[in-house]
Structure 1
Amino acid sequence: MRVLISGASVAGPVLAFWLVRHGASVTVVEQAPSLRMGGQLVDLRGKASHEILKRAGLTEAVRAASEAAEGLSLVGRDGRRQATVRSSEFGGNGPVAEIEILRGNLSEVFYEQTREDVEYVFGDRIAGLDDREDGVHVTFERGPARVFDAVVGADGLHSGVRRLLFGDEKPLRHLDMYLSFWTAKNHLGLKGWTEVYSEPGRTVLMRAIRDNTAVMAAAAFVSPAFQYDYRDLGALKTVVRSRLAGMGWEADRLLAQMDDAGDFYFDSASQVLLPSWSKGRIGLVGDAGYCASPLSGHGTTMALVGAYVLAGELARADGDVAAGFRAYETRLRPWIEQIQRFAEGNGVSMAPKTGLGIFARRAALRLVELLPKVNLPRAGTGRLSDGFQLPDYERKTP
């Protein structure tokens, strides 16, 4: 089976890895000129994602590329820690996950495992799709037209494949929050640690990365939806500065470093809600099909699991690509929708809207400190993380 994947972030290379295991011939097209390194810190949660790494034989490689994740503290304006939680206290599925890794580093692990068997085409993108009887005819912005048996959009929240597939439908649900990330200096000397400071409706945090030589700075603010060009980085930095103006703690020092950060990111906390994830022999995986927003804490986990299940169901379908896409959606959608519902209310903990909300979050975290042996992982994120039973697809060879 000839499969074209659009996007080489996380879902794309993971899907390519498992499709090759099942005997497919895979091409990945990526608009960026090369693999995009760095990026925000992402989590791998739950038994399913850990089992996928184990079956892939990549557990040690991913752990070696991950960042130390010891815990998190809420701090006051003066920097004093007011409440603390360690990753072990939630079984690796709490505010700090057991495995936290820079998005680009995770992509690189799967890219390196597939680069000899997968055709990677950088600096190009899909311009047109035509699903005909003999296959999906694909035109590219730069390269020559080609025909594939299946096409998968793994190209994120602003998916071009989704737009070509479903037209001008508006599948995004805004969750009244915007998020930004960038790399900054670790001037506080944090070691495997995250510190979070909030004022009503806005939050800024620092997370030690790269062997504690730098931090991932992050900002979140509550806001109704507004129009912006997600590619105009200068304008977006102005937005972040204006929304965080006057904040206490280390906000000013972090904001001052945005212009020097080569990995600045800004976007809405939005979900992708579609009645179907595929049409014929064209489908979607990860954020392109069912983004739950970063507020879910499960975006990368969903991409990893989704890619694994899609590859397995396409293999089981034995050439009936449309049936494989339908089986993948039937198996995965109930779990995905649970995560999306959870994310809708999780913004309250990321950037509480009121002083009372900030106080309540701090009190809840202090409760964890006082009662460290209480089995909390089964509630909230822990139950969601372990809520999907991973199928065991029989390996197929060419």
Structure 2
Amino acid sequence: MKAAQDAPTPPASAFGGPARVLFYVQHLLGIGHIARASRIAAALMQSGFVVTVVTGGAPVDGFPGAGIDHVALPAVKAGDAGFKGLFQLDGTPADEAFKAARRDLLLSTFERLQPDVLITEAFPFGRRQMLFELVPLMEAATARRPRPLIVASLRDILQERPKPERDRETLDFVNRFYDQILVHGDPAFVRLQETYPLAAEVADKVRYTGLVAPPKPEPSPERYEVVVSAGGGAVGRELIEAALEAARIRQRAGPWALITGPNLPQADFDRIRAAAPDGVEVFRFRRDFASLLASATLSVSQAGYNTAGDILQAGCGAVLIPFTTGGETEQGERAERLERLGLARVLKQEALSPERLAITIGEALALPRQSTASLDLDGARHTARLLADSLRQRA
């Protein structure tokens, strides 16, 4: 895709003033979902939409972003890396009364805002744990007159489902409630039908936006040979610990940065920082992460959607260790595709060790940098344009 021009001013709301968007996003483990949704929300605001982001996960510093209207539902998290069970942040199970309070707040927010566009991040292709509040929300939206444009917001690669009936259930939700499916990916990289077997039955609703990557960053004055990052940190401890030992093994040409993520337990963070050898700096979080990558030689990370976007914009080399615990397939698929394009080296999670990581880092550092110009990385701005055009067509 070619980069879009600046999105035009969106049409007026059916209730007067600029068009209104309610964007629902539920993150249960990492921070990838809220990070991507925040980038899209910012682009919608810059295009003139009035945006409210409704979140339901643990607070994450810096998201959904400055100036974005935010409604926080009582927070829940996944019970484990397999996403089994819903729990409050103190570990208490989310019982029926707790769920009812969330549902009622979500519905009252919808009624108060009267949005022209309702976006659900991941659902109905994911987040089945939230059916207790999302089905009532969808029913309220489809019953309202005028009816809002109802849109699903999806990353480019979906998790493989072991039960085919789940794919059929998703299709039923799409046919019952949704007007559009916005796939935040470049179809030249991967198409929806490659990870969702029933995509042909909803092809008329699918729109590709390009990858939702950050703007191309200015290189940081802090220069690291290798930047190791673990996303949110909830499941990245093994990677960080292996990288710490790999740094001892390698004869480093420059300093390394290890970014553990905000969700790593404090005791683990303190232990890792105390064990870091000379030339290795340990951080919990860096707001200038994209700029650090732009000045780095190599990124070492998992293969989450947002991290991949950061790496592609920065243009640095990459070693990817995709997260595959609990039968997760999405990161492995993305990592393999990037490796086939010559944009990364892949080390499988089950093969991760300090010695193997040190070797793979050495191999990646020896590779020439590859251009990413062929991939569309302007997905947030394309999303704003697509929604503005859709509302005009409806009007």
TM normalised by structure 2 equals 0.31
Greater RCO structure (CA 8 Å; 6+ sep): 1
The structure carrying a bigger strand percent of its residues is 1
TM normalised by structure 1 equals 0.30
